[in-house]
Chain A
Amino acid sequence: MATPLKCDLCTKPATVHLTQIVNNKVHKVDLCEECAQAKGVTDPSGFSLADLLLKASLNPEPAAAAGVRCEQCGFTQNDFKKQGRFGCPACYDTFSALIEPLLDTMHKGITHTGKVPQKALARKSLYDRLTKLETDLTEAIKSERYEDAARTRDEINQVKHSFGQKPSR
């Protein structure tokens, strides 16, 4: 015998069964009368399954990852539950386990295929290179490897030079 379906949001028996096709994928949600009302399922214009799925998959989450805190900004999973928004860009790394399964239901795909900020990325890789070279230089001087130090210094000058000329790709 099939056991009666339970509401995805609380534990009451589900009486509203909703199937929505988003981007050719079938999504099913089972809700009790009250949750269906509360989520506006009865009002098709104001209702988004993605929102609901997001909340549904967050609610039953045990305290497993609740203690995780974003090193960059101090944001926690609880904060995300409350606000539905993240604290800073680094949160996407910190909470990747939480967010990744949601993206599939929320979006058409899970990988970015659009515009890439080429110039900003090129600038960043130059910055990173420069930082690394500067550390190398300090270390070379410290350990009295003067030949290495001279070469590194030349490289640094080269990178700095290209900074001046082209923030572009």
Chain B
Amino acid sequence: MTISSLIDTPSELTDAASSKTAIVLMTRVRLARNLAGNSFPGWAKPAQREEILATCREAVSATLPMKRSLSLSIDELTDLEKQILVERHLISRELSGAKSGAGAVISRDQAYSVMINEEDHLRIQVLRSGFQLKKAWTTINDLDSALEDRLDYAFSPTLGYLTACPTNLGTGMRASAMMHLPALVIASQMEKVVRAVNQLGMVVRGLFGEGSDASGSIFQISNQTTLGESEEGIIKRLGSVLNSIIEHELNARQKLLEADPNKIFDKIGRAFGILQNGHVLSSSEAMNLLSLIRLGVDLGVFPDTNRCVIDRLLIESQPGHLQHAQRGEFEPGQRDLLRAMRLRSEFANFTKPNFTLSSDGPN
């Protein structure tokens, strides 16, 4: 399998069949693992990094879920290819910045990806569309156990899995959900939510993790602590936090509609107008407009079947994907023109908004 065929293969994220996932777009679980007796990637000598990379690539590729996978070394990739993998959440920005001695193994359906020599020797990830925390955990647990047959993990009975950064000690697990929370953003309640979630030991970040912004009203919510609690315990606690955020978002939508439906319909209608007719769209503006259309789908302004179209466009409007589709590299200014053109053609035949149905209330 090659990188270009991977990019063109429908992925868990770009081709999610589950259009029911109104608020949780996707669930992700990652495990940090290291090999006993080896320096962590940030401290290892280049030769040792290469050795670890080779050992891990071989071990990971041999597991069942990676039967048909792409195993790559970071120095084989172009900047554009790396950017696409980051936009699909298959590798991190940190890994894409690595010069050499790092890589990744990615399953064909892109539900599994294992980064090698990022902050830790192994960052195992499972990605599922929709709200599937438990499923994601059991799948990643199996992959981890399969790797254990082939690799000697650094583990301490008291501290658990030993990681480069002490904040990942113990389970080494970070479980997260990507949530679409437009009503909480419109109602300016996000700050309150962030504070409440923090107090429960969970963290809220933007779409691409630490330090990224939350354009498109998409947030990543994950556990902050990894030691002193079992994986199941963390999953359960995160699940209940996510459920309560969903409830708050639904309440906020209800309140917005009750207070003044015209205000919210105006936002959705304008977004639709710009997507149909705009000529210059930055990626952040496109995200925000698509987010409003997605809210429109949830409120019954557009048919339910359109949700997966929007979810696909949210990814395809990202700079890397846009340039890949146009088969070339373009300056940001040119990209904004191309993006608007792409969205105009997508929305030319989009179902007309129907603002009358919505008296039934949001679904």
Contact = CB atoms under 8 A, between A and B. Distances in A.
Tell me what chain B mostly uses at the interface: helix, strand, loop, or mixed. Answer: loop
Interface string A78-107: 010001111111001000000100110011
Contacts of B38: 88-89
Contacts of A79: 43
B149 A111 contact: no
A79 B37 CA distance: 19
A18 interface: no
A99 B39 contact: no
Contacts, number: 136
A111 B230 CA distance: 10
Contact of B40 (A20, A85, A167): A85
A113 B158 CA distance: 8
B331 interface: no
Contacts of A88: 37-40, 43
A123 B195 contact: no
Contacts of B194: 44-45
Given A103-B166, A107-B169, A120-B148, A89 B34 contact: yes
A46 interface: yes
A109 B144 CA distance: 23
Interface stretch (B53-61, B174-182, B220-228, B354-362): B220-228
Contact of B164 (A20, A85, A108, A111): A85
Given A23-B201, A114-B173, A117-B153, A84 B228 contact: no
Given A22-B201, A86-B166, A121-B155, A167 B149 contact: yes
A110 B144 CA distance: 23
A107 B162 contact: no
Interface string A9-31: 00000000000111100000000
A151 interface: no
Interface in B314-361: none
A119 interface: yes
Contacts of A45: 191, 194, 204
A115 interface: yes
Contacts of A116: 155, 157
A87 B225 contact: no
Interface residues on B, range: 35 or more
Contact of B39 (A87, A103, A115): A87
Contacts of A167: 149
Contacts of B160: 112, 114
A73 interface: yes
A92 B164 CA distance: 10
Given A85-B42, A85-B119, A102-B166, A109 B227 contact: yes
Interface residues on A, range: 35 or more
Given A89-B162, A113-B230, A48 B157 contact: no
B166 A106 contact: yes
B140 to A, nearest CB: 11
Nearest to A167: B149
A107 B229 CA distance: 9
B36 interface: yes
A115 B157 contact: no
Interface in A110-134: 110-117, 119-121, 123-124
Contacts of B161: 112, 117
A92 B231 contact: no
Interface in B190-206: 191, 194-195, 198-199, 201, 203-204
Given A99-B166, A114-B230, 20 more contacts: A45-B191, A45-B204, A48-B203, A50-B224, A85-B164, A87-B43, A88-B40, A89-B154, A103-B166, A106-B167, A107-B169, A108-B227, A112-B160, A112-B170, A113-B170, A114-B160, A114-B231, A117-B153, A120-B148, A120-B155
